[in-house]
Chains A and B, each alone.
Chain A
């Protein structure tokens, strides 16, 4: 343990002081925000004298078909994007690793869209996938469709394809980079050992490479899922007003001129928080159980 001869502060106090600014930010903004959202969802009003506690908001969102449909589309979109990003990212990482020449600039190109903000990504997808967008025009020129309406609905559609496309597009390099970082020397050595012992390429993949990639890729996937479930801009621009994802519904309710709808917005916010927290806890529990598995 490091200790400085001229240190005047006891260790515990020193650690507390070092953590205090971050603790203020996390405590006041994060924990405070979450507890306020919970309290206000039960009817609490911080500055108005007359309020009463009730579960009306939760009952209202449970009965609201818009919220149920919203939960469904949020899960669907997040899951699909995460799976696509994970599979594509891992495949890309393996392919890049297999390159003998040009790995540097291929990796660079692979990462270009990491710098593009999600808002701009949403615009790109609108311009690309919209019914009067670039791909629609290409199919018209190729004779595959006859009008904007004949092109399939990929943006503002019921399933959420446009949203999935944007998330998958942005998060594939993210998972890919993490997978690439995990495919270090140590993994190559293990693969060589397996090859020496007679394992085929497919067997090496399945029993050495993928299990070693699983932990970091799983962690990245959890982040991708949580992010996809919680953003606002992308589902608002690429989705439709019904069904909308949970974040869009929460903000819609919050901006209603009828302030009695605000507890419902808070309730939806609490649902989002629970969803992401449960996901992380499930991942941690699963990771703990699986990490003891022998190769």
Chain B
């Protein structure tokens, strides 16, 4: 098949090409049309990221705090739900699985428009807690599905043995079940972290402009006329996902449940 390999090379090049202007703009000082390379390189992009007046560092802090909280909370909710659908066969199980995946299909924007007025009424708008709660909407389905698949493959004999040896239910959970599920938990936590890290519309609606996560800062920067600042911020936003996915690369091999989550990113 003569055209297979060149075609693949072309495709891979095409997939990596759009990232090049991003990197170039991030380090450019002046790059007016029609220059093919920046007329001047400069560290201004990097300096903007570290300038306290640009609020990027506080954006990193807010984003990290929210994403870690969302990942932890979503996994805490997804763990019992995953156990229910993975371990037990019960009537209505397929319906529960379908409902759990519904937020993946129906766009979060449509759903959040309806409940935003409630967030305002109960004082959750313009607060980090409110943003964390609303971000449970796209993340809990993934956590539950990934952990459900993990529970389905779990050998329950370990738990039975631990209980037989006199371990209480909580000790069994913490010292037997969770370590057995560690790969899936890491995967689910990673997905939830990344979905939360990239979330824009839900944070915009519930945060009322006061909860400034990195996607909000980036969106504003893209709309401004300072391309270097936007590109530099874009590179910053990309780095944690790249690192985390690279680290988890080994765990992803062959798990189809994992692949579903990747598209959402």
Contacts and interface: CB of A to CB of B under 8 A. Distances in A.
Do any CB atoms of chain A lie under 8 A from CB atoms of chain B in the complex? yes
Nearest to A109: B12
B144 to A, nearest CB: 6
Given A26-B102, A117-B198, A124 B114 contact: no
Contacts of A226: 104-107
Given A26-B140, A115-B238, A272 B102 contact: no
B110 A132 contact: no
Interface residues of A, number: 107
Interface string B172-188: 00000000000000000
Contact of B110 (A37, A106, A227): A37
Contact of A19 (B1, B80, B223, B244): B80
Interface string B107-142: 111111111011001000000000001101100110
Contact of A106 (B12, B36, B164): B12
Interface stretch (B40-48, B52-60, B82-90): B82-90
A277 B100 CA distance: 14
Given A22-B77, A120-B238, A223 B21 contact: no
A134 to B, nearest CB: 5
B114 A18 contact: no
Nearest to A138: B36
Given A21-B81, A223-B263, A169 B106 contact: no
B148 to A, nearest CB: 10
A276 B77 contact: no
B114 A34 contact: yes
Interface in A40-75: 40, 46-47
A133 B33 CA distance: 8
Given A25-B136, A33-B114, 8 more contacts: A26-B99, A33-B110, A91-B11, A109-B16, A126-B222, A141-B36, A223-B105, A266-B114
